[in-house]
Structure 1
Amino acid sequence: MSTAHPPFRAHQRTLRSLVAAIAQGEAGDVTDILAAVTPGGGKSLLPVIAAAQLIPAGRIERVVWVVPRDSLRLQAEEAFADPVWRRALGHGLSLRAADNEPDPARGLSGYVTTYQAVAAAPELHLAEALRHRTLLVVDEVHHLPMPATRRGEAPDEDEAGAWSRAMRPLLAAAAFRLLLSGTLERADGRRILGLPYHPVRTGAPPEIDLDAPGLAVIGYSRAQALAERAVLPVNFGALDGEASWLEGGRAAGQSRVGPHRLSAGGVRVTTRPALFTALRTGFASELLGEAFHATRRLRARRRLERGLGAHEAAPGLGKLLVVAPDQASARRYLGTLRAWMPAAQGERDVRLATSSAQDAAGALAAFRLLPEPAILVTVAMAYEGLDAPEVAVVAALTHVRSRPWLEQMLARATRVDPHAGPYSGQQALVFHPDDPLFARFRAELETEQGHATRPRPDRPASAENPERVIWRDEEPGGITPLESNALGMRYAMLRPRIPDPAEGAPARGATPSRASLQAEPPSLSERALRQRLSAQVAAQAVEDEANLRMPRGGSLVHRYNAVLKRALGKGRAVMTLAELEAALAWLERNRLSDHAHLIEADARYAWSERQRRGRWMPERAAGG
């Protein structure tokens, strides 16, 4: 097995140099690092790079990594546990996914939590930051709007506002701050908490002060990532169509509108209702079918190249991510996809991850880490931060058109898959409605990469050159979708401007599989040890009852759990990894029945203990 590690990218090399200077006291004025890294560019390694140098140098004692969703906590743990990067960076640090319980780090180098958890228990996390010199990692910092501060402004009542209010004192208490984001703008145009801004100018958007004292900025654009082959080129499949709907209130009567073309960029008033209708009627099934069959063809081709059987599961075959406009549509898409497969295969291969779905976290984990399922249907849970390099196809069945959101969604398919063969043979395939606002987004990406020239301002508005309009992401009201259909597909490859022939494609198999190398994250290790302790306690209870060492009846397992807690002086729920391992070793050497006296004074177990000591005799029970 190869021990070589993947190459450090430009932003990762820059951070290593900066952190080394901080560790050596050569950049003592830097306390804030802003890393603006294109989605999919590898920013999850940055906290590991920073901690691997700052902790040994004594500049910090602990890492607190805050993420926007619970599904991202395990990925943060994995970043520190990855043995490839442990060898490359020479570190042995571990973080654990923590809830709002005391001592969230449990003797490790720090912990990972969520914005929601900080908002629910701000005092707990603030006390931790004040107790230790802390590196605070704020992941996807653009989720935090600057709280209302002007006189007369009402305080924010939404979830993001609550997050910001709870995070503000935590930011102030940390010794160092590492702010991560794939975008430095919010869809609502508000300033971002923790970032310095130039004074507000009337009519001008907020402008970050990149030269603010104590701030170091590290950038990594999509053009750089493509040049370094850190992300994949994108092939857009734009599907045009037409839609009809009813419009108007019930009192006034509803009138039929349409059919209207999705790509009719000059008719702005119909763009939103046409897209809203298309995503909930026949057009959606047509686009979904295009993405589904493209994924099947890709997986069949890769199976053939590897000599695999028609239904043989293997990593690197390619997966499909379906992003729906709402949960009802997501459930409908799920049913449609499963109907296109045999029943057993549909249940196995297609999963749903929405906030109301049962076991959404399990569906996300299986989609990330296992060869099957091959299709995941979601709304917004998986679009940001989902580290699933096998995603090769995206069905963008969403009405959202804010650029940060679309960039994050696009990045789910642009990660390089180490199991999918040479870089030159991989690309992301994104199917989307051919509406003018998505065309605008694509044109801006092409311009920034130098692949296309800026459109001339005197050209008429069209799907190729849409008007710049303000797009509000909420759904249009007062319409009833009737029908829609697809008209035609066109493809456009978004490639890097300058190829890099000097850098060879990564050899097949050069990067070991995550499944074979990944060290278990601390929270999973804790869970496994607790389960082993529970099994050992239950086994001793069953053995003692069978051998007449203890009376039958009641809950002997419950009593033995109490004995174990008294013997060890601490419950399993608050033990560190080392303490859990020590508890398991103690239990393997000792019988809990020999320590039952520890709970004699507990009224909850007094009756059963009196039986054990006097009223119940083993030889009498055996008939002796």
Structure 2
Amino acid sequence: MTRHLRTHQRALDSVVRAIAAGDSPVRDILAAVTPGGGKSLLPVIAAARLIAAGIVDRVCWIVPRDSLRLQAEEAFADPTWRTAIGHAVTLRAADNGPDLCRGLDGYVTTYQAVAAAPDLHLSEIRRHRYLVVVDELHHLPALSDLDPLTAEEAETAWSRAVAPMLESATARLLMSGTLQRADGRAILRLPYRRPRGFRRVREIDFEAPGWAVVGYSRRQALAERALIPVTFGAVDGEAEWIGGARTRRVASLANARRMARDALFTALRTEYADAMLRMAFDACRKRRAERRIDLGLGPTDSAPGLGKLLVVAPDQTAAWRYAATLQAWAGGQDIVRVAVSSAPDPHGTIAEFRLRPDPSVLVTVGMAYEGMDCPEISHVACLTHIRSRGWLEQMVARATRFDPLGGAYERQQAVVYHPDDPMFRSFRTAIETEQGVRADLPAGMPGEGGEAVPEGDLAAVAAETGEEAPGEAALASCDAPPEEVAERPGRVIVPLRSSATEVRFDTLAPGPDLGPVVGRGGGPTPSMLERSLRDRIGQMVAAQVVEDEDAGIGAARRGLGYHAYNAALRRVLGKSRATMTLDELEAAVGWLERNRISDHLHRIAGDPQFRWSSRRRRA
């Protein structure tokens, strides 16, 4: 059977077989699987082996939203895998009724359900020997990371409910497609360590005792043809809006710099959005027409494997407008559905989109981006202003799964249309070059004495939409309908007009493997990697100097430049980049992506070394 499994599935099978045989003390398994790489079979393998060996009696699988409960049930009921693995384990999608398992081998529940009745679930876990599976663990912040004086209870509602269940479980399988949170906090239960000499950065300890780590990178998934390569259609455009009592305009989203967020906010609600929708709709329709010819179908016939379009909107009002526009283009065919919290039966709509040939277009805001298993999705229109790396990775992954009914692997498509703004470019650079296992410690933590972290390109927009909020807050904040005059934090914007000017297609690079990559198979040497990272840091510092000078802030007001920014960065990081280790250089790149050096220039006030070096430079 194992020869039919992917790399991460075989690795997990080996781990649980060792546990079942009594050869391993491991009771915590972390499965770090690239989004779209296929995590849903891992709980089935673990449950089948551990129940058969008598290590556990039952399984509890916790998922982040209700629509994923049905997919979890399907994973255990799949007849192909029941035969291949040789298991008869059955789980039910449970509500918070008095009998969660109803005579079966376990149950599937949601974070929200556990938080609503924590005692019910905890007493069930304590009555039996349970394997507890937590899906998309990154939604749960570590409780020890939060300052009790400032943290709202809502932030930790899920973590406080799930943590005792994990403590009481016999074995734990923790799964995530991203090992970072947008707010920089630690993730519940994961083992962390501080890199030596770099106290404001934490990274996951892959060698912690009692833990086994199963990794599956995008590079591995592409090599095994579990994922399809992604082609990005970066759409540039212009935008005009009223902000700060004056009319503002940018001729290019790609060069909008510090006005990028306001320009993006405007573009997603005006003509630019319609132009991108049209590109994605026409491309998907062309794909479906080609597949009909391959299958010998008529021009309006429907069948599985033709390809589908997922549209991710910035808010509910925009979602309904997009859907009406798409339906008008469909020429009378009823092919468009909307899955938002104000729609009737949104979970049923998602299930219909997943399991039937039609509808072929789904418009959503936040409900269908994470964990939705629909291999037919071939095109995505990313019309959201969220720029959190984890959020966008999950969204892109909806189109990257291989569709067994979609024809030959080489002919399958995964095309993502997106605004060509600097924040999205930063996201793409991050997933092509970073492993995603390190994070800055959040400022202001007890005992850290840090300053408040300024708004960053990737995290700030996610914070505006509440990406990591507990319960259904993530959906509620994303789905909230805007007012006629839209408000962003700190400013009011009246969108006027926009247009798309050009589109550039580019294929996403495979990205790094999980864990250390230095010294493998003729790869780059440590000195080459250090030199590359130092050069990248220098370019990022120079870019911030230019952006701030153009905006008339920071250095420009004080007549400072590249030298001052370098000096401030050295004070923030505690050492010169010339003496940093590889880990420290990577952490420095991450810090620069989330912070502005201009907010830290006060650190060099009165610095005698900076004054001396400045005098030397002037001389």
CA deviation string 1:323-369 (max 9, x = no partner): 001111111111111111234x1xx3100001121110111000000
Give the SS at the match of 2:53.
Answer: coil
1:130 is aligned to 2:165: no
* Contact in 1 for aligned 2:426/2:458 (Cα 8 Å): no
The code of the aligned residue for 2:4 comes to: P
What SS does the aligned partner of 1:321 have? strand
String of CA shifts for 1:176-206, please: whole Å, max 9, x gaps.
0100000100001001111122259876233
1:431 aligns with 2:420: no
SS in 2 for 1:367: helix
In the TM superposition, what are the counterparts of 1:73-84 in structure 2 within 5 Å?
73-84=69-80
Q: Which residue of 2 aligns with 1:354?
A: 340
What is the Cα deviation at residue 51 of structure 1?
0.6
Contact 1:38 1:221 in 2 (8 A): yes
Which amino acid counterpart does residue 504 of structure 2 have in structure 1?
R
Q: What is the CA–CA distance in structure 1 between the aligned matches of 2:2 and 2:193, rounded to whole Å? A: 41
Partner of 1:189: 184
CA distance in 2, matches of 1:76, 1:179: 15
Q: Check conservation: 1:147, 1:155, Cα contact below 8 A.
A: no
**Match for 1:472 among 443, 455, 460?**
460
Which whole-Å deviations, capped at 9, do the CAs of 1:9-67 have from their partners, x for residues lacking one?
A: 1010000011000000000x211000000001111100000011100100000000000
Structure 2 counterpart of 1:99, one-letter code: D
Decide whether aligned partners of structure 1 residues 172 and 331 sit closer, same or farther in structure 2, where only a CA change above 3 A counts: same
Q: Which residue of 2 aligns with 1:335?
A: 324
For 2:217, give the aligned amino acid: S
Q: CA deviation at 1:5?
A: 10
The residue aligned with 2:277 is 288
Q: Identify the residue that residue 304 of structure 1 maps to in structure 2.
A: 293
Contact 2:431/2:511, CA 8 A, preserved across alignment? no
1:366 and 2:380 matched = no
RMSD: 2.0
Q: Which amino acid aligns with 1:472?
A: A
Distance (whole Å) between structure 2 residues aligned to residue 349 and residue 469 of structure 1: 36
1:85 to 81, 100, 120: 81
Note if contact 1:260-1:270 (Cα within 8 Å) is conserved in structure 2.
no
Q: Pick from 475, 481, 495: which aligns with 2:495?
A: 481
> Against the structure 1 CA distance between its residues 352 and 148, is the aligned structure 2 distance closer, same or farther, given a 3 Å change threshold?
same
Indicate which of 109, 115, 118 corresponds to 1:119.
Answer: 115
CA contact (8 A) 1:5 1:85 kept: no
Q: How far, CA to CA, are the matches of 1:131 and 1:383 in structure 2?
A: 35
**Structure 2 CA distance for aligned equivalents of residues 394 and 124 of structure 1:** 40
The amino acid across from 1:19 in the alignment is V
Deviation (angstroms), 1:167: 0.7
Q: Per the alignment, do residues 142 and 494 of structure 1 end up closer, same or farther by CA in structure 2, a change over 3 Å counting?
A: same
SS at match of 1:111: strand
Q: Distance in 1 between matches of 2:43 and 2:399?
A: 23
Residue 304 and residue 402 in structure 1: after superposition, are their counterparts in 2 closer, same or farther (change >3 A)? same
Q: Residues of 1 paired with 2:381 and 2:293: CA distance?
A: 24
Residue 250 (structure 2) pairs with residue 259 (structure 1):
yes
8 Å CA contact retained: 2:308, 2:360: yes
* Residue of 46, 49, 52 corresponding to 2:48: 52
Q: 1:147 Cα deviation (Å)?
A: 2.2
The match for 1:218 is: 214
Give the Å deviation of 1:207: 1.7
Deviations 1:294-351 (A, max 9, x none): 01000001001111011111000000000001111111111111111234x1xx3100
User: Displacement of 1:208 after TM fit?
Assistant: 1.7
Tell whether the 8 Å contact from 1:5 to 1:84 is kept in structure 2 after alignment. Answer: no
Measured in 2, the distance between the counterparts of 1:192 and 1:36 equals 13
CA spacing shift, 1:479–1:42, aligned 2, 3 Å:
same
In the TM superposition, what is the alpha-carbon distance from 1:469 to its structure 2 partner? 4.4
Q: 2:395 — aligned with what?
A: 409
Are the equivalent residues in 2 in contact too, given 1:190–1:206 (CA < 8 A)? Answer: no
Cα distance in 1, alignment partners of residues 184 and 511 from structure 2: 30
| Structure 2 contact 423–458 (Cα < 8 Å) conserved | no
Indicate yes or no: 2:511 matched with 1:492.
no
Distance 1:119 1:26 in 2: 36
Aligned pair 1:15/2:12, yes or no? yes
> Is residue 257 of structure 2 the alignment partner of residue 268 of structure 1?
yes
CA distance in 2, matches of 1:150, 1:98: 31
Question: Structure 1: where are the runs of 5+ without partners?
Answer: 249-253, 450-467, 499-624
Equivalent pair of 2:40/2:75 in contact (CA under 8 Å): yes
Shift, 1:153, TM fit: 3.2
Cα pair 1:148 1:156 within 8 Å, conserved? no
1:171 aligns with 2:166: yes
Which residue type is aligned with residue 222 of structure 1?
Answer: R
1-side partners of 2:315 and 2:376: how far apart? 24
TM-score (norm 1): 0.72
SS class of match (1:25)? coil
SS at structure 1 position matched to 2:70: helix
Aligned-partner SS, 1:381:
coil
Q: 1:26 aligns with which of 13, 23, 27?
A: 23
Matched letter for residue 174 of structure 2: L
Structure 1 position 314 matched with structure 2 position 311: no
Structure 2: distance between partners of 1:210 and 1:494? 27
Q: How many residues align?
A: 466
Residues 35 and 365 of structure 1: is their aligned pair in 2 closer, same or farther, counting only changes over 3 Å? same
Residue 471 of structure 1 deviates from its aligned partner by 4.4
In structure 2, give the amino acid aligned to 1:168.
A
C-alpha separation between the residues in 2 aligned to 1:442 and 1:235? 12
Deviation of the 1:480 alpha carbon: 1.1
Distance in 1 between residues matched to 2:335 and 2:397, nearest whole Å: 22
- Equivalent position amino acid for 2:397 in 1: A
- Determine what percentage of the aligned residue pairs are the same residue: 60
Residue of structure 1 equivalent to 2:383 = 397
Q: Which amino acid aligns with 1:219?
A: G
With over 3 angstroms needed to count, the CA separation of the structure-2 counterparts of 1:6 and 1:388, relative to structure 1, is: farther
Q: State the 1:440 CA deviation.
A: 2.1
Q: What is the TM-score with the length of structure 2 in the denominator?
A: 0.73
SS of the residue corresponding to residue 383 of structure 1 reads coil
Deviation at residue 154 of structure 1 after TM alignment = 3.3
CA distance in structure 2 between the aligned counterparts of 1:404 and 1:44, rounded to whole angstroms:
18
What SS does structure 2 have at the residue aligned with 1:91? coil
Give the aligned residue type for 2:252: R
